Amino acid sequence: MVVFAAGHRRKNRSNVTLRPAMRPSPALLLGIVLLATACGGITPRTASDYERGSAAEAKFQKDAEACEKQATAHQKEFGGGQFDPSRGPYNRMYDMCMRSSGYQLKAQAK
């Protein structure tokens, strides 16, 4: 027992056992690695991913550049910045912009 100056007594708790440090399970670590690997391969959308249709090449390139600027600004605000490996916000905004300009996404080979 420890006695303080004001006469208060407190039990000595030196024999208190602490919980062991939390360790992540191997399954959790494997899940994180798989998720990071899957998301690392996503590339940003470009004009080459869209059908030009009957639009002139100059108009198509101008629209693609405008969509790229808009998608980059959106990525900076809502994504992880230029180092975001998923490029999700960028791709969604670029796709919305190109579709609203009348271009369709090319069919992807499986």
pLDDT at 88: 81
Please report, for the chain, the start and end positions of each structural domain, with discontinuous segments joined by +. 45-110
pTM for this prediction: 0.58
Residue-wise pLDDT for 49-68, tens only, equals 999 989 999 999 999 999 99
d(CA 54, CA 29) in angstroms, rounded, equals 50
Residue-wise pLDDT for 82-92, tens only, equals 666 667 888 88
DSSP 47-87: GGGEE-TTS-HHHHHHHHHHHHHHHHHHHHHHSSGGG-SS-
pLDDT at 82: 60
**Mean pLDDT across the stretch 17-43?**
65
